[in-house]
Structures are given as structure tokens and as C-alpha cells.
């Protein structure tokens, strides 16, 4: 026997039992996005590597060590499997000149790829739902996006999520803060880990994003960006907070929240839970007003967020939220010679009238087919033998609760079942 081929490490199959929850999640997301006037956009999974380097930033975890990049063996192009969705979304918006038609509200859902150490809630192929509002300078849109996330948690039935908020100000404000931060971190060089030392001068803000427990104390005491905000940034942040408070959305300010991507300004936020161990961030986002221009478009205000679908599904599981089970209406049991076409036509007729019908496949004893019918969870068995085929009838037997078996004309079967 040849060696069994298995899925790539950190890339999961979603099997039938689990896919029910996925479909429930996806349907909920589609309705939710539509309720806010967002339109779906779908972009390729592979893009030019430079798209991600230019947007996410050279000195970030993603670009430094997590991207699946390769050369096209036919023409040598440098390509990358998308690690997130915003860059591709904006690339498409710019390429097709969508902003020419006015501001855009867009959403997407799909696979992302990051070469990380796989663990619960952290995979190499995972899924994100992303939402981008392009052409609105906020802070009212920032607030609406946050209300939108709250609404999704409600629709899914999720509880106990905490909203953390921060402002990254403008690039000038970050530059002033950066000087102070470098001076501070330089004083503590000896306590910095390798990443910290390396980023001290290239991307010191990123040092604050460290997950290393040994770095927490030094990061907590570092100069805070909030203290470097100018009047306009301060005002933007205050108005956002006021709107959230007025709308009854609780939040905490986390001055160390900087996000793992370089393109953010002003508002940044994360939704976190303590029910998923260290993979507790289920949603992250903020404002990235410079990114459209940086990628070759016209200057455009922009704000959005991405959610980790696997983490949200793990949270549904942790909170024991299960989607409604989809039962078949009918399991069609059949036995006899030369009745195949009548059996199939009957099944098609029932389906055309809106019923979910499982047609027993292959030959088996009546008893074993009835066992399968019970196991399928169907509400009714429809039974066809040679007599039924000749008289163009069907026997209907309720499988749940009481009720006698009845023979009806084929055309009457649906109304009996729907009763």
C-alpha cells in the first residue's frame, strides 16, 4: 500500500458534522452584512508579494515570518498567499476604480494563510470575515462599525466579549511618540527580547505588541501614544467614545493596543475573550486613512475590521451555542423490480414542492432501510413497493411520535406530509 497523504500541518478539513456550524455562521454573517448595507467582494487568494509588503509593513510579524511566498515557476513572479484581506480588497477597489462611484461599504469572507505554530485557535490556513468602509472619515463610521460587531455577537448569541480601544493618532504624532519610545526602550535594552532589540529602531511601536510575558512590565511602563495625541486626534477619539457610551457599548481603553499591521491611524480596537486561552482576540480593526493612497489610489478615509472565524466558532462551542439542526423531511424507502423511475420521480416531485428528501441508495432489506430512515432524523418515511408503483401511490409513515401509516396518491403525498 502506498503512503497515506494527509492535509498540510495547520490546515484543517471542515467535516460534515462541523460544517453545520460553519453554514449557520456564514448565513448569519450574510444577513448581518446586508442589514448594514455592505456588499460582498471576492478577491483571489494569491497576490503579488509586494502588495502585502507595502501595506502590512516590512517590519511586522506577518511580513517578516508568516507569509507563504513563492516564485511562480513559469515566469518567476513573486507571489504570496494572502495573509489578510484588507490589502487585496483595496487593491481591487483601486484597480476597478470603485471609489469613483462614491464611498464603498464592502465585506468578504475567506481563507487566509500565515506560517505560524499551529495551536488551538491559531492555524496556517484560517478564515476571516472582513468589513471595510471606504470614503468615510468618522468617527461616526468607526462607531457604527463597532455597533455592527456588537450586533453580530448578538445574532450569534455570543456573550462576555470585551471591547478594547486605543487611538494611534496621526503619523506626525506617532513620530513624536516614537522618539520618546526609542529613548525609553534603549534605556531598557538588556531586558528586551530578540524581537524587541531588532525592532527597537526599525519599528518600536511593534515592540509594544509583544506577546512575550517577560516583556509585559517594560511595555506597560513605556510612553503612551495617547499622551502624544494632538487636538484633532483627541477630538476624534473622544467623540467615538461618547458615541459608544451613548449607544450603550461598554469598552476599555488599552493604551498598549497597537495592532500587528502598520497601516492603522487614529482608531484601533480588538474584541477579546478570556475563554480561548492565549488566542483570545476574535476581532481586530481600526482606521487606515493612508492605505488607499499608499497602494496607488486617491487619498481616501477608510476604516474596517477582520474577525477570525475559527476563533468565533470555538467560542460558540465554549458557550455551548449550537445551530438549529437541519432535519430531512422524508427518507424514501423502496423495494421491488422495475420501480426505479417511479421512485426517482416521486423523490423529485417532493423536492420540487419544497421538501428535503433522502432517497435510499442501493438495495437493502425493508427493515434495514427503515433503520436508516430512523437514523437520518427524517420526520417521515415514504415507502414505495411494486404495489405503490403500479397504483401511482406512496405509503407515508410518521417517524417521530405517534401516527399510522397511510397510503395516498403520489400527488397527495406533499399535503399529507405538510399537514
- Asked if 128 touches ligand ATP (CB under 6 A), the answer is yes
* 279 vs 395 by CB, closer to ligand ATP: 279
Among 158, 202, 157, 150, CA closest to 181: 202
Which of 103, 110, 255, 260 is the binder for ligand ATP (CB under 6 A)?
260
The four Cα atoms 198, 204, 206, 207 give a dihedral, to 10 degrees, of 70
* 274, 318 Cβ separation under 8 angstroms: no
- Residue whose beta carbon is closest to ligand ATP: 308
- Asked if 273 touches ligand ATP (CB under 6 A), the answer is no
* 149 vs 410 by CB, closer to ligand ATP: 149
Please, which of residues 36-95 interact with ligand ATP by CB under 6 A? Answer: 84
Window contacting ligand ATP (CB under 6 A); options: 38-46, 276-284, 295-303, 387-395 = 276-284
- All three cell numbers of 51, joined, read 502588495
- Asked if 126 touches ligand ATP (CB under 6 A), the answer is yes
Which of 24, 32, 107, 123 is the binder for ligand ATP (CB under 6 A)?
123
Which of 152, 181, 282, 291 is the binder for ligand ATP (CB under 6 A)?
282
* 67, 104 Cβ separation under 8 angstroms: no
- Asked if 144 touches ligand ATP (CB under 6 A), the answer is no
Sheet (strand 357-359) strand order: 357-359, 330-334, 380-384, 393-398, 406-409
- Asked if 132 touches ligand ATP (CB under 6 A), the answer is no
Please state the residue numbers annotated as binding site for L-histidine: 84-86, 114, 128, 132, 259, 263-264
Minimum gap (Å) between residue 123 Cβ and ligand ATP: 4
Which of 122, 224, 351, 397 is the binder for ligand ATP (CB under 6 A)?
122
Which of 167, 210, 265, 281 is the binder for ligand ATP (CB under 6 A)?
281
Sheet (strand 78-81) strand order: 46-48, 78-81, 68-71
Say how far apart CA 71 and CA 7 lie, in whole Å: 22
In 250-352, the DSSP E strands lie at: 252-253, 265-272, 281-287, 302-308, 330-334
Percentages helix, strand, coil for the chain (3-state, rounded to 5) are: 40, 20, 35
Could you list the residues that contact ligand ATP (CB under 6 A)? Answer: 84, 114, 116, 121-123, 126, 128, 260, 279, 281-284, 306-308, 310-311
Amino acid at each position: 500500500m502506498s503512503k497515506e497523504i494527509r492535509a498540510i500541518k495547520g490546515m484543517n478539513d471542515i467535516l460534515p458534522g462541523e460544517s453545520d456550524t460553519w453554514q449557520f455562521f456564514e448565513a448569519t454573517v450574510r444577513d448581518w452584512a446586508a442589514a448594514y448595507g455592505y456588499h460582498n467582494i471576492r478577491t483571489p487568494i494569491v497576490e503579488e508579494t509586494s502588495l502585502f509588503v507595502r501595506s502590512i509593513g516590512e517590519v511586522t510579524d506577518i511580513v517578516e515570518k508568516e507569509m507563504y511566498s513563492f516564485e511562480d515557476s513559469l515566469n518567476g513572479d513573486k507571489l504570496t498567499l494572502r495573509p489578510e484581506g484588507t490589502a487585496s480588497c483595496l487593491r481591487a477597489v483601486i484597480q476597478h476604480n470603485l471609489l469613483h462611484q462614491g464611498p464603498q461599504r464592502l465585506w468578504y469572507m475567506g481563507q487566509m494563510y500565515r506560517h505560524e505554530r499551529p495551536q488551538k485557535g491559531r492555524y496556517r490556513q484560517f478564515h476571516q470575515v472582513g468589513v471595510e468602509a471606504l470614503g468615510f472619515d468618522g468617527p461616526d463610521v468607526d462607531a457604527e462599525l463597532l455597533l455592527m460587531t456588537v450586533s453580530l455577537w448578538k445574532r450569534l448569541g455570543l456573550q462576555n466579549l470585551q471591547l478594547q480601544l486605543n487611538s494611534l493618532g496621526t503619523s506626525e504624532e506617532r513620530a513624536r511618540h516614537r522618539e520618546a519610545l526609542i529613548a525609553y526602550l534603549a534605556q531598557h535594552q538588556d531586558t528586551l527580547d530578540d524581537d524587541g532589540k531588532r525592532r527597537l529602531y526599525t519599528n518600536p511601536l511593534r515592540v509594544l505588541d509583544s506577546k512575550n510575558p517577560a516583556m509585559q512590565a517594560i511595555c506597560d511602563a513605556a510612553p503612551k501614544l495617547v499622551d502624544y495625541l494632538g487636538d484633532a486626534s483627541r477630538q476624534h477619539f473622544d467623540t467615538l467614545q461618547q458615541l459608544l457610551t451613548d449607544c450603550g457599548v461598554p469598552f476599555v481603553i488599552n493604551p498598549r493596543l497597537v495592532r500587528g499591521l502598520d497601516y492603522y491611524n487614529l482608531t484601533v480596537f480588538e474584541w477579546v475573550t478570556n475563554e480561548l486561552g492565549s488566542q483570545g482576540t476574535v476581532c481586530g480593526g481600526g482606521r487606515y486613512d493612508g492605505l488607499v493612497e499608499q497602494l496607488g489610489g486617491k487619498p481616501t478615509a477608510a476604516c474596517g475590521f477582520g474577525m477570525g472565524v475559527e476563533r468565533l466558532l470555538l467560542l460558540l462551542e465554549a458557550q455551548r451555542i449550537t445551530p438549529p439542526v437541519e432535519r430531512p423531511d422524508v427518507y424514501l424507502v423502496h423495494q421491488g423490480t422495475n420501480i426505479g423511475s417511479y421512485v426517482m420521480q416521486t423523490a423529485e416531485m417532493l423536492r420540487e414542492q419544497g421538501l428535503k428528501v433522502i432517497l435510499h441508495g442501493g438495495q437493502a432489506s425493508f427493515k434495514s432501510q427503515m433503520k436508516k430512515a430512523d437514523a437520518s432524523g427524517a420526520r417521515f418515511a415514504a415507502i414505495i413497493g411494486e404495489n405503490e408503483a403500479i397504483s401511482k401511490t406512496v405509503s407515508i409513515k410518521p417517524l417521530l411520535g405517534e401516527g399510522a401509516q397511510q397510503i395516498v396518491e403520489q400527488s397527495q403525498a406533499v399535503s399529507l406530509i405538510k399537514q
